[in-house]
Amino acid sequence: MLRLVKRGHVSKRERILIYFLSVLAALVTSGLFVLLMGHSPWQVFQSMILGAFGSRLRFQDTMIIAVPLIITSVGIMIAFKMKFWNIGGEGQILIGALFASYFALNFSDWPRPVLLLVMLLAGFAGGALVALIPAVLKVKLQTNETIVTLMLNYIAFHLVTYLQYGPWRDPNSKGFPKIANFSANALLPKVFGLHMGWIIMLILVVAITILLRYTKIGYKIAVVGESKDTARYAGMNLNRIIISSVAVSGGICGMVGMIEAAGVNYTLTPSLTGGYGFLAIITTWLSGLNPVAIIPVSVLFAALTKGGNFIQTAFQIPQSAASVIQSIILFFVIGAEFFIQYRIVGKEKG
Instruction: Give 20-58 pLDDT, tens digit per residue.
Output: 888 899 889 999 998 998 888 889 889 989 999 988 999
pTM above 0.85? yes
75 neighbors 89 (Cβ within 8 angstroms)? yes
d(CA 268, CA 105): 10
Taking 90 as the threshold, does the pLDDT of residue 242 lie above it? yes
Confidence of residue 164 (pLDDT cuts 50, 70, 90): very high
Residue 213 identity (one-letter amino acid): R
Contact between 25 and 331 under an 8 Å Cβ cutoff? The reply is: no
**Residue 137 DSSP SS3:** helix
Asked if pLDDT for residue 10 goes beyond 80, the answer is no
- Distance, in Å, from the CA atom of 201 to the CA atom of 217, rounded to the nearest integer, reads 21
Compute the distance between CA of residue 3 and CA of residue 192 in angstroms, rounded to an integer.
53
How far is 88 from 152, CA to CA, in rounded Å?
Answer: 7
Q: Looking at residue 240, what is its pLDDT?
A: 92
17-21, 56-60, 314-318: which is most confident: 56-60
Task: Give the bridge partners for 2, in sequence order.
Answer: 346
pLDDT in tens, 275-298: 899 999 989 988 888 999 999 999
